[in-house]
Amino acid sequence: MLNAALHALDWAGIILAAWAAHRLYLGSWVLPDSYSIVAGVVVLLAALIFPRFDLYQAWRGASIFDEVRATTLAWALALFLLFAFAFTTKMGIRFSRGWIGIWALLGWVVLISGRILLRVGLRWLRSHGFNQRRIVIVGGEGLGEEVARRLLASPWIGLQVAGFFNAETAMAHAKPGVPILGGLADVAGYVAEERIDQVWIALPLKEEDKVESLLHELRHSAVDIRFIPDIFGFRLLNHSVTEVAGFPVMNLSVTPMVGVNRLVKALEDRLLALLILLLISPLMLLIALGVKLSSPGPVLFRQKRLGWDGQLFKVCKFRSMVVHQEGSGQLTQAFKGDARVTPFGAFLRRTSLDELPQFFNVLQGTMSIVGPRPHAIEHNEQFKDLVDDYMRRHKVKPGITGWAQINGWRGETDTLEKMRKRVEYDLYYIENWSLWFDLRIILLTVFKGFIGKNAY
């Protein structure tokens, strides 16, 4: 029911926005046939595209921010495909570009506003006792308690916890605000007698025999059954559940750069890198001249680094040190007062201007503008066994700037704790990646990411 309402709301919003744009731009509520055809094509595209962005999942408790982001991307893709179709087929439909622009903006506002208002309305109803689902939780101490605690703290989700069934024979103490209704043997009888919509099983993975027994007891019930595996003791990275060849697959550690995310990231990197290079090209020429005059040797410094999924690439920087050689397998990080660093190179390193040629790496596709900083191969070998999950930094492309850098974890990593903190922030970025997060990091880099006390 909710899915059908959301479909209808989106389609009506798109058509309403087309009418409103025509009224604002051309002064009439009556859409000419050509404009009506364009609006119809976009409604059809929305019907095909929007479900691919999971916009019609009725899961309670999903983030509004995630839905706004997904709706924005879906709407942008629908308009992009409209333009691609119009230009490649050269269809003889005339419409105003100004109208399209206003429609694009109004359509986005209407789509987002409609969904937010619907969510606000549902939250109000659920927080006042309407549109509820009664559930029982089956689990032992720990995960089961945490599930109950979170649901009780979120009444707007509309999931009313009727009680708790303890998987242990002895019940140590009452659960937070939830009555204990019995043990595993009592679940099926209670569900049959009471109006229960869902059974949530919160048991450790090792107790599959109890899960199997419970499912057998509930085999005659039409109640919804959800399983919450106790995996939260693991270090997870973009955990989710997908389907592969008909099997449910739980992702514990995967890259976020798949599907639409990969396309968005690639477009973001290429477009911004090209724009930035055009703007900074005069500055780069001056820096190149300064490097050449400061000491003998090449202007650029290239070094092998590990990139996405451990693939080797050559990172490019302005040379900031005198030309020198180190022993095989050795690499000494720059340190305070390092005699190898030229005076001009020290200025470049303090201001991060030595990193500017890496925008060419971004255009080549070996780096991103935002991501974990690429470490030298020797440092990877040094830290991969000392810092937990160190190599998971390579689940995305390395970046020119990153969440760790703008939070002060840049420059020399002369202690293990500094590297641990850098990895911690890098993994947080990978787990929480979004286009908006990238743009936030880029903006913060402008104000606080170029100069740091640890850069020398």
What pLDDT digit, counting tens, does each position of 46-64 carry? 888 888 777 776 555 556 7
Label residue 172 by pLDDT band (50, 70, 90).
very low
For the cut 70, the answer to whether the pLDDT of residue 232 exceeds it is: no
Q: Are 371 and 417 in contact (CB under 8 A)?
A: no
Label residue 88 by pLDDT band (50, 70, 90).
low
Burial 122-145 (b: 16+ CB within 10 A, else e): bbeebeeeeeeeebbbbbbeebbb
Most confident of 132-136, 154-158, 257-261: 132-136
Between 114-118, 287-291, 359-363, the lowest mean confidence (pLDDT) is in: 114-118
Token pair of 268, please? Answer: 């973001």
Encode pLDDT of 105-132 as tens digits: 999 999 888 888 877 777 777 667 676 7
- Return d(Cα 190, Cα 263) in angstroms, integer: 49
Angle between helices 343-351 and 260-294 (to 10 degrees): 160
Give Cα 455 to chain centroid, integer Å: 29
Q: Which residue has the higher pLDDT, 333 or 245?
A: 333
What average pLDDT does range 37-41 have in this prediction? 83
The pLDDT value recorded for residue 320 is: 83
- Return d(Cα 248, Cα 241) in angstroms, integer: 7
Label residue 425 by pLDDT band (50, 70, 90).
very high
- Residue type (1 letter), 43: V
Q: Are 264 and 239 in contact (CB under 8 A)?
A: no
Q: Which residue has the higher pLDDT, 391 or 426?
A: 426
The pLDDT value recorded for residue 284 is: 92
For the cut 90, the answer to whether the pLDDT of residue 13 exceeds it is: no
Residue 71 CB-density burial (10 A; 0-12 exposed, 13-18 middle, 19+ buried): buried
Residue 58 CB-density burial (10 A; 0-12 exposed, 13-18 middle, 19+ buried): exposed
The pLDDT value recorded for residue 382 is: 82
DSSP characters for 297-340?
A: S-SEEEEEEE-GGG-EEEEEEE--B------TT--PPP-TT-TT
- Return d(Cα 133, Cα 197) in angstroms, integer: 6
Indicate the average pLDDT of the chain.
79
Token pair of 62, please? Answer: 């999903």
Give the DSSP H/E element, type plus range, for residue 13. helix 2-26
Residue 430 CB-density burial (10 A; 0-12 exposed, 13-18 middle, 19+ buried): buried
Nearest 10 degrees: Cα torsion 55, 58, 59, 65? 40
Phi-psi region of 329 (alpha: psi -120 to 50; beta: other; left: phi over 0): left
The H-assigned helical ranges of 56-200 are 64-89, 97-127, 143-152, 187-193
SS3 160: strand
Q: Are 163 and 180 in contact (CB under 8 A)?
A: yes
The pLDDT value recorded for residue 250 is: 65
Label residue 171 by pLDDT band (50, 70, 90).
very low
Those residues with Cβ within 8 angstroms of residue 345's Cβ, 6 or more apart along the chain or in another chain? 291, 294, 295, 318, 319, 320, 321, 354
For the cut 90, the answer to whether the pLDDT of residue 367 exceeds it is: yes
CA distance to 88, 129, 163, 180, 319, per residue, from 154 (Å)? 49, 13, 16, 20, 55
CA distance to 66, 112, 219, 362, per residue, from 183 (Å)? 37, 45, 18, 58
The DSSP bridge pattern shows strands 159-166 and 133-139 to be: parallel
The pLDDT value recorded for residue 169 is: 45
Q: Is the pTM of this model over 0.75?
A: no
